[in-house]
Structure 1
Amino acid sequence: MKYLEYTPLDRINDFLSHVNLGERTIKGCLEAYSCKHTGTDKKLSLSLEHEILDYLGKSSDTDSSSPAEYLSSRSSRKTLIYLILTLYHIYPDYDFSAVNAHQFFTEESWDCFKQIFDTYMFEASKEWVEANEGGPLLEILYKALDEVVKLAECEIYSYNPESDADPFLERGAIWSFNFFFYNRKQKRVVSFRFCCISNLVADGFLTDGLCNEEDGEIFDDMDM
């Protein structure tokens, strides 16, 4: 996977690097990758393929909604491996299991993504309009994504792991979303991560307050 630089994505990334809303901060990051193997990608890709095939060899599940049914398709395995390789490039120190990661990916529509974006990025979008010219944030995002991966040809996936297995989750996170826009023809993926962080937790205010309360309870039991 090769990281691809695109100016339209850089403009949005600069804005979403830190949108301070008082007690909360919105953060977001767009990254584009070519699916062409580089470096250790080929070895990792083969390892993931073997993991999947080993799982299929041991599985007797014939449920059409099961991982085994989905992963029996070579095209589906290839897509999953590209998505996981993208995850590895974003978080190289995290160990992603192909079979486990599969259950956290869900194919989405643009309308579903738009609904989530409009709901959770409403305040950030207002800040964008006040600070930038050229149209609403979602409109600019659509144009940027379309330039990089041609949205009409894209498959869109959300990635929603369990909290204890989420490498994206930051301290103080209130909510977070991870989307992948995959163009099979172009062999290109764009990842889009955006989240909301509590400034109180991030700055340690709530932790400090909790410690102070505990100290107070300790001293309450002491004879002065």
Structure 2
Amino acid sequence: MKFLQLPGIDAITRELEFSTSDCCIFGGCDLYTTKATGSDKRLLRSITDSIETKFEADARLSASLSPPQDSSELFSRSSPFGPLDQRSSRKAYAYLLATLNASHPYHEFSAIVRPDHFSKERSLLSAMNRFNTALFNLGKVIPNLWETIDMEMDLKDCAIYVYEPDNIEDLYASEGLLWSLSYFFHNKHRKRVCYLYLRAVSKSSHSRRNRPMETWQEEGEEEDYDSDSGRLWEDPGTDSDAFVESMDL
């Protein structure tokens, strides 16, 4: 996979790194092509081997049940990517793992992430509303957020996944994680993945060693935001319903 450095997307990433009175927000919008590199191919082979091992274990388990159950059916139901005995489903899963590894090089996600840590979002509007609400609660406005992403991704043609692992607290325990929100937009035809995320970290427990100091405000300094102004919903760039309607889904 190759990281795409695009001015509009880079501007979104800069806007998604900020602080409030009680937490620091690590966010980003990362775009990658899905043209496989050598490491991507090795990751796919590793995932295939892991899936085959699990499939064999499930087959033994299902045969021992009374009455016996179809192990392939049991296994495919656990994947938001589709039946994992199909190469296309495994590739979609591998793309998201490779994206996580590339965006967060201090962690090796392929060793700890499972297919059931992802879920498929039911609609683009649902994803937009959830992300907009998170920004609203933080007092943050990003004009033309979705228009900029749509220009590069054709959002109406994307499969949308949410990453919500049950062990996320363990992964970022040393950083004082409060909550996280991670979305993946995969456009198979454009061969691109967009990774849009927010991670809130407690100021009191966060170690500064892994963050770029120049991107943060001084601690204790708050965003200049009028909570009664309603700017987030009045700004045409963040009106989710109007934006989705304009896309003729």
What interval of TM-score do these two structures reach, taking the shorter chain for normalisation?
0.7 to 0.9
TM-score w.r.t. the length of structure 1 is 0.74
Aligned residue among 124, 128, 132 for 1:110: 124
1:69 positional shift = 7.3
Q: Which residue of 1 aligns with 2:247?
A: none
Q: Which residue of 2 aligns with 1:11?
A: 11
Q: Deviations over 1:31-83 (max 9, x none)?
A: 11011112422222222222223322332233362359731233212211111
**Larger gyration radius, structure 1 or structure 2:** 1
The answer on whether the counterparts of 1:84 and 1:101 sit within 8 Å (CA) in structure 2 is: no
Q: Which amino acid aligns with 1:82?
A: Y
Query: Separation in 1 of the partners of 2:171 and 2:103?
Result: 10
Query: Separation in 2 of the partners of 1:43 and 1:56?
Result: 20
The answer on whether the counterparts of 1:153 and 1:183 sit within 8 Å (CA) in structure 2 is: yes
Aligned residue among 164, 167, 170 for 1:163: 167
Q: Which amino acid aligns with 1:176?
A: S
| 1:178-189 aligned within 5 A | 178-189=182-193
Aligned residue among 82, 100, 107 for 1:94: 107
Mark the CA change 1:127 to 1:159 in structure 2 (over 3 Å): closer, same or farther: closer
Alignment RMSD: 2.8
Query: Separation in 2 of the partners of 1:154 and 1:164?
Result: 25
Q: What is the number of equivalent residue pairs in this alignment?
A: 193
1:170 positional shift = 6.5
1:203 positional shift = 6.8
Mark the CA change 1:93 to 1:196 in structure 2 (over 3 Å): closer, same or farther: closer
Query: Separation in 1 of the partners of 2:25 and 2:164?
Result: 18
1:119 positional shift = 2.3
The answer on whether the counterparts of 1:8 and 1:144 sit within 8 Å (CA) in structure 2 is: yes
Moved over 4 A (4+): 97-100, 164-170
Query: Separation in 2 of the partners of 1:146 and 1:166?
Result: 33
Query: Separation in 1 of the partners of 2:174 and 2:180?
Result: 9
Query: Separation in 2 of the partners of 1:199 and 1:98?
Result: 29
| Percent pairwise identity | 30
Q: Which residue of 2 aligns with 1:83?
A: 96
Mark the CA change 1:106 to 1:127 in structure 2 (over 3 Å): closer, same or farther: closer
Aligned residue among 43, 65, 69 for 2:77: 65
Q: Which residue of 1 aligns with 2:23?
A: 24
Query: Separation in 2 of the partners of 1:157 and 1:25?
Result: 25
1:141 positional shift = 1.6
Mark the CA change 1:119 to 1:107 in structure 2 (over 3 Å): closer, same or farther: same
Query: Separation in 2 of the partners of 1:98 and 1:31?
Result: 22
1:194 positional shift = 0.3
Unpaired segments of 5 or more residues in structure 1? 129-136, 205-224
Query: Separation in 1 of the partners of 2:145 and 2:11?
Result: 10
Query: Separation in 2 of the partners of 1:186 and 1:47?
Result: 25
Mark the CA change 1:169 to 1:34 in structure 2 (over 3 Å): closer, same or farther: farther
Unpaired segments of 5 or more residues in structure 2? 60-70, 209-249
Query: Separation in 2 of the partners of 1:22 and 1:16?
Result: 16
Q: Which amino acid aligns with 2:130?
A: I
Q: Which amino acid aligns with 1:156?
A: I
Q: Which amino acid aligns with 2:94?
A: I
The answer on whether the counterparts of 2:78 and 2:116 sit within 8 Å (CA) in structure 1 is: no
1:38 equivalent in alignment to 2:56: no
Query: Separation in 1 of the partners of 2:38 and 2:169?
Result: 26
Which moves more between the two structures, 111-120 or 86-95? Answer: 86-95
Q: Which amino acid aligns with 1:175?
A: W
Which moves more between the two structures, 100-109 or 110-119? Answer: 110-119
